[in-house]
Amino acid sequence: MDSARRFSIRLAMASLLTAGASFSTGAATFVDAQPYLSFADSAFAGVAFDDYFHLEDFEDGLLNTPGVSSASGGFVIGPSAQTDSVDGDDGAIDGSGAGGHSFFSGFPGGTDTFTFDFDAGVLGRLPTHVGIVWTDVGEATPTPGFGSVTFTAFGAGGALGTVVSGTFGDGSTFGATAEDYFFGVIDPLGISRITISMAGFSSDWEVDHLQYGATTVPLPAMFGPCLAGCALLGLRRRRA
Question: Is there a domain that residue 222 lies in?
Answer: no
Question: Is there a domain that residue 146 lies in?
Answer: yes
> Cα torsion for 223, 225, 230, 235, to the nearest 10°?
130
Residue-range definition of the domain harbouring residue 197: 27-217
- Pick the range with the lowest mean pLDDT from 42-46, 170-174, 230-234: 230-234
Beta strands in the chain (DSSP E): 29-35, 52-56, 68-69, 75-77, 102-104, 113-118, 129-136, 147-155, 158-168, 181-186, 193-197, 206-214
Question: Is there a domain that residue 1 lies in?
Answer: no
> What angle is formed at CA 171 by the lines to CA 167 and CA 177, rounded to 5 degrees?
90
Domain count, the chain: 1
Question: Is there a domain that residue 144 lies in?
Answer: yes
d(CA 161, CA 152): 6
pTM: 0.79
Model confidence over 172-218: pLDDT tens digits? 777 788 889 999 999 999 999 999 999 889 888 999 999 999 998 76
CATH of the domain at 140: 2.60.120
Model confidence over 57-66: pLDDT tens digits? 999 999 999 9
Q: Which amino acid is at 71?
A: A
